[in-house]
Chains A and B, each alone.
Chain A
């Protein structure tokens, strides 16, 4: 498989005592929309800054579009669009002028400016200075800057930060469209799974500077199935464990209740019937949360 982004043993320290990234092995398949998830402070922005050379690499390797970043920095940055943290725009300039500032560096045709303004829905901003834009408009202008030179890879750090629900949906649609229509690989970070689970094809989950999951959305779904559990509160917990063993269901005791790894409703009903028939009082049967968010929370809980 070809990877648009590939890192190996990427480790970064801000000081002797503070290691913020441990052996990060990021693999972003070409043409994918890769969601880079993790709670605030997990190391997402540090990783993305390292990918763009905004932080000096200390150890490990970084390859973008099949080339080592260190030796091909300028050549690679010509094919990468980025938006890191808050959008970088010159407040005293209009949207058109802001794009022109970067167009001159990328040396791309002037016709790209109205095209990307149209794409992000900022065609009508006229002479309004970017400093007076709403946060959503600034964010969209940041995306326009990242898209200006038709990049092969887009690196976006929390692009939906500060957007209202409509803005988030619009941003999601925009990213999906440019991925489908232009085949641009998108690496997008977020701290909320719900925000990007409908968008991404691949996921990487980082927690406290370590990758705790990497794979397709389907693989995460499988984990979700595996993570499903039911809690039985009864008058005899040990009997529940015995019954679980008979049915080959993994189980354990937690807070005086029996926790069984299963999701099948019929099996839950069967166990309940058997417990009642054996004269055991069943006080409650609680299904554990098994949505993607819970899986994410489980993976990223200390």
Chain B
């Protein structure tokens, strides 16, 4: 089973080569850092005061998440999750995949794992981009010192881990929808509709029940709880629920190609 999963994952990894989803991860991960880097060079006169400020790194990473968390991250997750399964529909390859010697759990969880690894890749690129954005002006511009404070590795990891957990319900539901519907516009449309609904409902007292609100709540509140509710537990619960429901729907499909 373990070897089958590794072989299957390796196959899926190759399959996504040159696809829109793989480009989306790279471009999406580096988009905000590149914009912020350009802004730093354009407003170079403010760089000195920024670098010597206390909590420079925290401000740096929060500035990045400010643009990312509300719309770009959930939207990127919606697109990437939907595009991974779309690859099989578009190329008419489900039938060939299901005629390979793989169990249905291996096929289902390999694709899900691929989406999660791509999400990790996205976070890695984003964080690396934010660090480069912070350090590059000091390296190339005379008079701009290196940040005085030590780089807070744990803070970066903690913030990323929280946002990662907040993305999981989106991954779960988008994966479920995109496996079920051949037409790419259906999961995409449902995702965008839920995201817009979440933007409207985030301040509602029951907003924590909507699975697409957690990235926004994480950014606004910056901690685990929202009105006394643990949003990370809600996010994990929704993810497990959507994953199990998606698996049941997938395995019960009468036509597999």
Q: Using Cβ atoms and an 8 Å threshold, which residues of chain B touch A129?
A: 18
Q: Judging by beta carbons under 8 Å apart, are A54 and B98 in contact?
A: yes
Q: Judging by beta carbons under 8 Å apart, are B256 and A74 in contact?
A: no
Given contact pairs A74-B102, A88-B93, A105-B101, A54 touches B10 in the complex (Cβ within 8 A): no
Q: Judging by beta carbons under 8 Å apart, are B98 and A88 in contact?
A: no
Contact of A105 among B8, B18, B95 (CB under 8 A): B8
Q: Judging by beta carbons under 8 Å apart, are B99 and A93 in contact?
A: no
Q: Using Cβ atoms and an 8 Å threshold, which residues of chain A touch B15?
A: 90, 93, 101
A27 to B100 CA separation, bound complex (whole angstroms): 23
Interface residues in B85-118 (C-beta closer than 8 Å to A): 87, 90-103
Q: Judging by beta carbons under 8 Å apart, are A107 and B96 in contact?
A: no
User: Nearest chain-A residue to B3 (Cβ)?
Assistant: A107
Q: Judging by beta carbons under 8 Å apart, are B101 and A89 in contact?
A: no
Given contact pairs A92-B17, A92-B18, A105 touches B255 in the complex (Cβ within 8 A): no
Contact with B along A66-110 (1 / 0, CB 8 A): 000000001101101010111011111100010011101111000
Q: Judging by beta carbons under 8 Å apart, are B99 and A52 in contact?
A: yes
B254 lies within 8 A of chain A by Cβ = yes
A49 lies within 8 A of chain B by Cβ = yes
Q: Judging by beta carbons under 8 Å apart, are B101 and A74 in contact?
A: yes
A129 to B18 CA separation, bound complex (whole angstroms): 10
B19 lies within 8 A of chain A by Cβ = yes
A74 to B14 CA separation, bound complex (whole angstroms): 22
Given contact pairs A86-B92, A91-B91, A101-B11, A56 touches B99 in the complex (Cβ within 8 A): no
Contact with A along B61-102 (1 / 0, CB 8 A): 000000000000000000000000001001111111111111
Given contact pairs A55-B254, A55-B255, A97-B17, A102 touches B95 in the complex (Cβ within 8 A): no
A92 to B16 CA separation, bound complex (whole angstroms): 9
Q: Give the distance to chain A from B6, nearest Cβ to Cβ, in Å.
A: 9
B257 lies within 8 A of chain A by Cβ = yes
B53 lies within 8 A of chain A by Cβ = no
A147 lies within 8 A of chain B by Cβ = no
Q: Using Cβ atoms and an 8 Å threshold, which residues of chain A touch B17?
A: 92-93, 97
B interface residues, how many (CB within 8 angstroms)? 29
Interface residues on A, range: 20 to 34
Q: Judging by beta carbons under 8 Å apart, are B98 and A104 in contact?
A: no
Q: Using Cβ atoms and an 8 Å threshold, which residues of chain A touch B203?
A: none
Contact of B11 among A80, A104, A145 (CB under 8 A): A104
A112 to B76 CA separation, bound complex (whole angstroms): 38
Q: Judging by beta carbons under 8 Å apart, are A106 and B101 in contact?
A: yes
A281 lies within 8 A of chain B by Cβ = no
Q: Using Cβ atoms and an 8 Å threshold, which residues of chain A touch B10?
A: 104
Q: Judging by beta carbons under 8 Å apart, are A88 and B91 in contact?
A: yes
A53 lies within 8 A of chain B by Cβ = yes
Contact with A along B1-35 (1 / 0, CB 8 A): 00100011011001101110000000000000000
A93 to B16 CA separation, bound complex (whole angstroms): 9
User: Nearest chain-A residue to B20 (Cβ)?
Assistant: A92
A137 to B99 CA separation, bound complex (whole angstroms): 21
Q: Using Cβ atoms and an 8 Å threshold, which residues of chain A touch B254?
A: 55-56
Q: Using Cβ atoms and an 8 Å threshold, which residues of chain A touch B102?
A: 74, 105
Q: Using Cβ atoms and an 8 Å threshold, which residues of chain A touch B8?
A: 104-105
Contact of A82 among B3, B91, B99 (CB under 8 A): B99
Q: Judging by beta carbons under 8 Å apart, are B14 and A88 in contact?
A: no
Q: Give the distance to chain A from B4, nearest Cβ to Cβ, in Å.
A: 8
Contact of B96 among A53, A82, A91, A104 (CB under 8 A): A82
Q: Judging by beta carbons under 8 Å apart, are B93 and A54 in contact?
A: no
Q: Judging by beta carbons under 8 Å apart, are B98 and A93 in contact?
A: no
A295 to B20 CA separation, bound complex (whole angstroms): 52
Q: Using Cβ atoms and an 8 Å threshold, which residues of chain B touch A54?
A: 95, 98-99, 255-257
A248 to B17 CA separation, bound complex (whole angstroms): 73
Contact with B along A37-50 (1 / 0, CB 8 A): 00000000000010
Q: Give the distance to chain A from B220, nearest Cβ to Cβ, in Å.
A: 39
A180 to B194 CA separation, bound complex (whole angstroms): 58
Q: Give the distance to chain B from A214, nearest Cβ to Cβ, in Å.
A: 24
User: Nearest chain-B residue to A130 (Cβ)?
Assistant: B91
Q: Give the distance to chain A from B38, nearest Cβ to Cβ, in Å.
A: 31
A55 to B103 CA separation, bound complex (whole angstroms): 15
Q: Give the distance to chain A from B74, nearest Cβ to Cβ, in Å.
A: 26
Contact of B101 among A78, A104, A145 (CB under 8 A): A78
Q: Using Cβ atoms and an 8 Å threshold, which residues of chain B touch A105?
A: 7-8, 11, 100-102
Given contact pairs A84-B257, A90-B93, A104 touches B99 in the complex (Cβ within 8 A): no
Residues of chain A at the chain B interface (Cβ within 8 Å): 49, 52-56, 74-75, 77-78, 80, 82, 84-86, 88-93, 97, 100-102, 104-107, 129, 145
Q: List 13 A-B contacts (CB under 8 A).
A: A49-B95, A53-B98, A53-B256, A55-B255, A77-B100, A84-B96, A90-B87, A92-B18, A93-B17, A93-B18, A102-B11, A104-B8, A104-B14
